[in-house]
Amino acid sequence: MTEGEKDLQFLDMVVKSLVEHPEDVKIDRTVDEMGVLLTLRVHKDDMAQVIGKSGRTASAIRTLLRVIGMKNNSRVNLKIEEPEGGMRDSE
């Protein structure tokens, strides 16, 4: 693992400890001129744990990722993808 992949390792550890289906956690890491983009996919039943009440959990995770990014002189953003059959599909 390189110094720059600490954000990926951190996100993986945090999300897998929150969810009921850790085997379904998928994270893609892309780097471009804007910084690092971590794209997170989880089981549809785990979205509530990852987002949290009023988005507080997701916001806290994003804040911690920004701190890790600052330590490594990079800008880290988190995108949480809506799973197939998720809450928005049923509305």
pTM of structure: 0.86
Cα end-to-end span (Å), the chain:
41
Token representation of residue 17:
């400890």
How do the pLDDT tens digits run along the chain, 91 residues long? Answer: 566 689 999 999 999 999 999 999 999 999 999 899 999 999 999 999 999 999 999 999 999 999 999 998 899 999 999 877 655 544 4
Handedness of CA 34, 46, 56, 89 (dihedral sign): positive
The fold of 3-81 is GMP Synthetase; Chain A, domain 3 (3.30.300)
Domain range list for the chain: 3-81
Q: Per the structure block, which two tokens stand in for 54?
A: 């009023």
pLDDT at position 83 is: 79
What pLDDT is stored for residue 90 in this prediction?
44
